[in-house]
Amino acid sequence: MQALYYVGPEQLELRDSEEAPLMPGESRVRIQATGICGSDLHAYHGHDPRRQPPLILGHEAAGEVVEGAMTGKRVTMNPLIVCGHCDYCLEGRQNLCSNRTMVGMTRPGTFAETLTIPDHCLIELPESLPAVAAALTEPAATALHGVNRLERALFRPLSEARVLVIGGGAVGLLVGLILRHKGVRNLRLADTNPLRRRTVERAGLAAFDPHEKVPEPDSFEAVFDCVGAAPTRDMAVAAVKPGGAIMHLGLQDNEGKLDTRAITLKEVAFLGAYTYSPSDLRATVKLLDSQCLGNLDWVEVRKLDQGAEAFADLIAGRTPAAKVILEP
């Protein structure tokens, strides 16, 4: 099979490789659509010690089972492989599983024609949901998990909140679309890239350049930092209203000095969120299938053999797409 290998910092190579043997309890999936994630870009730069070359990256995908118990079924997959018996797994917080491994990290990823994966990671797709949309399940579930977690920390209903979303990449945009679906009317999205702002506006959300216009201080009940860099954390802490909540979803850097004094004095709930539970993924499949997140025309589809160019374009900010999806 053909697969896109990460072979060293900023080097991707399309290689012919052997299909992995099928282990008991696993299925082989023919990948039909697979998204490039920010964490793949991070690894590509050589910045992720957990992802060592040579490795097939990628963990957001949809396809068809070609070997195993669910042969013939269309599926998306949970890239987190969890143990099912630790305390976290038993209480439904599988994203925190103490023994988890991950597709595209500790085992070969989805930038390939086929992939083997444990059966319990597979989620069957409704006929009406196309593979490209289904490949958004993983990032959309990350957004949904963050929105649901923040919602529980708010004093008043989310639909009444004034909300700031920082970052118009896939997760930021999906957070915005989920918030709109949940009835949030007062919603603004900040991004410094004009191409991305245009994409966000085409998706029907209000976008602005935070370099041009700093968000008003103390004025948002809820802030989502979908970038996770020192300046965006500062922006979030300044913009959040006393008594409000910040959801930190981005992982760009760990620099700067978080204003913990402001967090305390404004009584801010500063929350992190990591990935999703299996039930978040299932809820997201339904959300995507119901089309309540819009027409998803901000996705750009390319062929797997153009994967290296796609990475380069994403890093240079040359594409307006919030998500690039590769088709093997």
Q: Is 83 in the site for Zn ion (CB under 5 A)?
A: yes
Which member of 1, 41, 86, 271 binds Zn ion (CB under 5 A)? 86
- Stretch of 74-82, 174-182, 261-269, 280-288 lying at the interface with Zn ion (CB under 5 A): 74-82
Of all helices (H) and strands (E), which one includes residue 303?
strand 299-303
Judged by CB under 5 A, the number of residues near Zn ion is 6
Q: Are the CB atoms for 315 and 37 separated by under 8 Å?
A: no
Nearer to Zn ion, 102 or 150 (CB): 102
d(CA 163, CA 201): 16
Min dist CB 238 to Zn ion, Å, is 28
d(CA 114, CA 31): 5
Question: If you search the block for the tokens 């999806």, which residue do you land on?
Answer: 325
- Stretch of 76-84, 117-125, 207-215, 316-324 lying at the interface with Zn ion (CB under 5 A): 76-84
d(CA 260, CA 292): 37
- Stretch of 87-95, 149-157, 254-262, 300-308 lying at the interface with Zn ion (CB under 5 A): 87-95
**x/- map, 105-134, Zn ion, by CB under 5 A:** ------------------------------
Residue in 144, 141, 137 with CA at minimum distance from that of residue 247: 144
Min dist CB 250 to Zn ion, Å, is 12
Q: Are the CB atoms for 5 and 15 separated by under 8 Å?
A: yes
Other C-beta atoms closer than 10 Å to the C-beta of 174 total 30
Q: Are the CB atoms for 206 and 137 separated by under 8 Å?
A: no
- Stretch of 91-99, 110-118, 229-237, 309-317 lying at the interface with Zn ion (CB under 5 A): 91-99
- Stretch of 21-29, 43-51, 79-87, 152-160 lying at the interface with Zn ion (CB under 5 A): 79-87
Nearer to Zn ion, 37 or 287 (CB): 37
Min dist CB 58 to Zn ion, Å, is 9
Min dist CB 85 to Zn ion, Å, is 6
**E strands, 40-98, in order:** 55-56, 60-67, 74-77, 80-81
Q: Is 97 in the site for Zn ion (CB under 5 A)?
A: yes
Q: Is 229 in the site for Zn ion (CB under 5 A)?
A: no
**x/- map, 258-287, Zn ion, by CB under 5 A:** ------------------------------
Find the binding residues for Zn ion in span 26-65 (CB under 5 A).
37
Min dist CB 229 to Zn ion, Å, is 18
Nearer to Zn ion, 33 or 268 (CB): 33
Q: Are the CB atoms for 175 and 300 separated by under 8 Å?
A: no
φ/ψ of 292, rounded to 5, equals -80, 0
Which member of 89, 121, 177, 240 binds Zn ion (CB under 5 A)? 89
Q: Dihedral (C-alpha) 259, 262, 264, 270: value to the nearest 10 degrees?
A: -60
Residue in 231, 265, 264 with CA at minimum distance from that of residue 250: 231
d(CA 227, CA 167): 5
Q: Which residues in this chain contact Zn ion in the complex, by CB under 5 A?
A: 37, 82-83, 86, 89, 97
